[in-house]
Structure 1
Amino acid sequence: MDCAAVPSLISDFVNTFVDFSVSGGIFLPPEPESVKNSTGPLRTVFPQPVRLVAVGDIHGDLPKAKTALRLAGLIGADDRWSGATATVVQVGDIFDRGGDEIKLLYFFERLRREAAKAGGTVITMNGNHEIMNVDADFRFVARQGVKEFEDWGFWQCVGNGMKRMCLGIGSDLVFRDLLDGVPDEIPGIPPEFLNGIRARIAALRPNGLISSRFLSKNLTVVVVGDSVFAHGGLLEKHVVYGLERLNEEVRDWIRGLSEEVKNRLVRGSDSVVWLRSFSNKLVKDGDCSILEHVLETIPGARRMIMGHTIQEDGISSACGGRAIRIDVGMSKLCGDRFPEVLEIDEKSELKVLTSNPLYIKRQYDAIQKEGLGSLVPDQRPRQVEVNA
């Protein structure tokens, strides 16, 4: 072994040790060379897969996330990828409400790498809560979430200390001062939460250790086959702006490569991650016309799939099946409802997979509800109960 490589090996060992400590015991497999340190354009359009699974808002609840993925057979009893060549899209809002935010980031990163090796694809997206946290807007952070980041900050400091003790490890292998630029005191934050909030700012600010490592891989809009995904929804102005351009500008902001990202993209009630026009319980006819026009401007698009707004009766549709709403409020601290996922096969047929034991009654009731019977022409979504 070349002795010159020893410092780098020690640094890698320390990084793995810290990752294991903060992730709940996850060892990440090697990252595919094709995505390692990638600075090229984010892929925005994917072909129709043999099997596509869409997962709604998770909000810091790792057990519910695992239940949702098991419904679709995407993970096994060992929590490892078992979805073969399937594509899964998680529409954002991993952050806030719960206490498993960092663990979820590592969990989905491991699945992303395992899926890629098996020929599958895992796509994670930015929701409004990801954007809020990069903006240091912590209004919806749970106490457990503050504690998780406090622990993360502790282990990062331990790792840096271990590296500094080893002769030959240069400053390039030691993370910069974790709290550099973070205020020592923050008005309105009680002393018992200060360390956790400061660590959260350090981790999630643009070019933060977590934002640059994990969130910069998220898409803000993605087209998979004939389905368009956005956390809140898309308007014509977003399509005209350019979907790939939108993804790249949000990514560059998260990486700290640009000082700001345009408000109309990710902030405000009509932005991509905040829009509710197509996910409200009652969608106006005018909004359905807008949605139809938007889909017509995206080649091959038949439907828009979104999260953001809790559907109290489970996954639902509107506008004749052109709007599919998949936020079912599954997180224990944000609805605590039964997990459900949407499955789309290679023929573009849709099916809801649910853990709700009352699915039979819901299937009967669905016949009475606008949209649910027309996710695709002449077909109702089949409610399938799955034990997970």
Structure 2
Amino acid sequence: MPINISNGQKRILISTIIITLLYVLVWMTSHRKSEIKSRTPVNENGQAVFKQRLVAVGDLHGDIQNAEKVLRMANLIDSESNWIGNQDILVQTGDIVDRGAYALNVYKLMQKLRGQAENQGGKVVSILGNHEVMNAIGDWRYVTQDDIKVFGGTKRRQEALAKDGWLGSEWLANYSITAKVPLSPYSFSPSISFSHGSIRPSFSNLLPYPEKINELGKSLIEKALTPPLSPPYPPNPYSGLPKGHTSEEADLYSEGGPLWWRGLAEREESQVCQWAKELKLKLGVKRIIGGHTPNFEKIVSRCNDSIIIIDTGISSAYGGVLSALEIIYTLLPTKEDHKEHRQDPFMVFDTQRQFQNSIDSSIQSSNNQKNEVSGISPKSKGLEGKFIEREEVYAIYEKRKKLIVIDEREITL
């Protein structure tokens, strides 16, 4: 005998089925999230033995408004543009100048944040781009008239750029061509290579890295910024590299040098991955990160995330997307070991301070120390047993955050 179901009963039945399906979907999603979270072991009080957050930002090209937006997106500055990143590391990969009007303001912001970050145990790592070096040698083809006005005219802009001027001295003291940034103070942890353009495995002055490249960069910049500076081109004739430059310095600034080369961003995948493998071995790094070659839609990851290109055309001169790269590194005891590895809270500050000092020694262009972190033995710091080393890499955009990769490994100390 057929069962007659009224329209009202049909609606109730359909609604019940939909609600049930939604419940199952929500349960599966939350269950999946819990599975992902469970991969991260915690110690007795839920804290890592060591945790470091690093944020990298690409080309800014004179756009102070978008620069501040990106740093707020990454939770590094507050509404007054003061540092709130605590012990975070900020790496900016060059090309602050040209195309936009407010390079001066961006440099001033970075100068302020550098001091504020250091006071909180954090760090600002600044890389020179090809446009910084262009300005140093008098190549002003991409300098806007508004930029010159903000500096107070051509003469004042040149005075600022001179080696004793506020910007020239800032470049010489706090900017480098490349940087090797360790993710922890422990020698077993990975380091990351940062440069503006692509580093070529066959570059003649690659090693020792990063010292040799940075020594050449500092020498070239100092020669270029020693008065009298080259007259700006245009309207004056192009002067080229400064008098007294060496062939090694010319190679640094050449099309195949780390300021200009785009190979890791533009060449075919198989070739790039072969270069990546070679570079990681030579440089002693896990990833190579750079800017210079914009993708106006996203941060580009290549070769199983060994190569990451972070220039997304942030400046309004390009109209790309606002973005930042985030790396979160944690070292945690495994669940079965955590009771035996409670760390003295005073060690945390001491280790962090030594860590920040080790970054200084890695990026200083004239430093003769080894660029590997030294003098911090894990066992001398009470770290023995099994640990999970975890590295999470994200692309941060204006309205979303995208996971690029999570790498984990278990280590025994």
**TM-score over 0.5 (shorter chain):** yes
CA distance in structure 2 between the aligned counterparts of 1:80 and 1:265, rounded to whole angstroms: 39
Q: How does 1:70-149 map to 2 (within 5 A)?
A: 70-149=72-151
Counterpart of 1:69 in structure 2 is 71
Q: In 1, are the aligned partners of 2:253 and 2:260 still within 8 Å (CA)? A: yes
Contact 2:181 2:192 in 1 (8 A): yes
Within 1, Cα distance between the matches of 2:148 and 2:71? 26
C-alpha separation between the residues in 2 aligned to 1:49 and 1:97? 37
Contact 2:213 2:252 in 1 (8 A): no
Shift of 1:74: 0.4
d(CA) in 2 for partners of 1:288, 1:269:
21
Q: Is the CA contact 1:265–1:271 (under 8 Å) kept in the aligned structure 2?
A: yes
Note the aligned Cα RMSD (angstroms): 2.4
What SS is found at the alignment partner of 2:176?
Answer: coil
Q: Distance in 2 between matches of 1:288 and 1:131?
A: 29
Return closer, same or farther for 1:303/1:122 CA change in 2, 3 Å cut-off: same
For 2:161, give the aligned amino acid.
L
How far is the alpha carbon of 1:212 from its aligned partner?
1.8
Measure the CA separation in 1 of the matches of 2:406 and 2:256: 27
The aligned counterpart of 1:249 is: 216
Q: How does 1:166-177 map to 2 (within 5 A)?
A: none
In the aligned structure 2, how far is the partner of 1:50 from the partner of 1:273?
Answer: 28
Aligned residues of 1:207 and 1:254 also touching (Cα < 8 A): no
Give the aligned partner of residue 297 of structure 1.
282
Query: How big is the shift at 1:59?
Result: 0.4
What's the secondary structure of 1:349's corresponding residue?
A: strand
Query: How far 1:83 sits from its partner (Å)?
Result: 0.1
Structure 2 spans left out of the alignment, 5+ residues: 1-49, 183-190, 227-242, 330-389, 409-413
Instruction: Return the offset for 1:108.
Output: 0.5
Aligned match of 1:199 in 140, 156, 177? 156
Give CA deviations for 1:68-90 in whole Å, capped at 9, x if unaligned.
11111100112100000000100
Q: Counterpart amino acid of 1:349?
A: E
Q: 1:268 to 1:255 in 2, by over 3 A?
A: closer
Q: Structure 2: how far apart are the matches of 1:296 and 1:74?
A: 32
Candidates 194, 197, 214, aligned match of 1:229: 194
TM-score under structure 1 length normalisation:
0.64
Identify the residue that residue 239 of structure 1 maps to in structure 2. 206
Aligned counterparts of 1:103 and 1:308: Cα–Cα separation in 2: 21
- How many Å separate the matches in 2 of 1:227 and 1:242? 12
Q: CA deviation at 1:277?
A: 0.5
> In structure 1, what is the Cα distance between the partners aligned to 2:220 and 2:165?
11
Q: Please say if residues 131 and 266 of structure 1, whose CA atoms lie closer than 8 Å, have aligned partners that are also in contact.
A: no
Matches within 5 A, 1:1-388: 50-149=52-151, 151=152, 196-225=153-182, 226-236=191-201, 237=203, 238-240=205-207, 242-256=209-223, 259-260=244-245, 262-280=248-266, 283-299=268-284, 301-333=285-317, 335-346=318-329, 347-355=390-398, 357=399, 359=400, 375=405
Residues 193 and 288 in structure 2, CA contact (< 8 A), matched pair in contact too: yes
**CA distance in structure 1 between the partners assigned to 2:261 and 2:51 by the alignment:** 27
- Kindly state the Cα deviation for residue 287 of structure 1 after the two structures are TM-superposed: 3.0
Aligned residues: 270
SS of 1:239 mapped into structure 2: coil
Q: Secondary structure at the match of 1:297?
A: helix
TM-score (norm 2): 0.61
Paired AA for residue 266 in structure 1:
L
- Over residues 141-190 of structure 1, what are the superposed CA-to-partner deviations in whole Å (9 max), with x where a residue is unaligned? 112112122x1xxxxxxxxxxxxxxxxxxxxxxxxxxxxxxxxxxxxxxx
Secondary structure in 2 aligned to 1:212?
helix
Measured at CA, do residues 219 and 139 of structure 1 come closer, stay the same or move farther in structure 2, by a change above 3 Å? same
The gaps in structure 1 that reach 5 residues or longer are 1-47, 152-195, 364-371, 379-388
CA 1:56–1:288 in 2, change beyond 3 Å: closer, same or farther?
same
Q: CA deviation at 1:249?
A: 2.9
Taking a change above 3 Å as real, the CA distance of residues 265 and 83 of structure 1, as seen in their structure-2 partners, is farther
User: 2:356 is matched with which residue?
Assistant: none
1:274 partner amino acid? W
Cα distance in 2 between the residues matched to 1:65 and 1:78: 13
Contact 1:123 1:218 in 2 (8 A): yes
Taking structure 1 as reference, are residues 202 and 259 closer, same or farther at Cα in structure 2, changes over 3 Å only? Answer: farther
Q: In structure 2, the residue corresponding to 1:296 is in which secondary structure?
A: helix
Using the alignment, how far apart are the partners of 1:348 and 1:276 within structure 2? 27
What does residue 36 of structure 1 align with?
none
Does the 8 Å CA contact 1:239/1:294 hold for their aligned counterparts? no
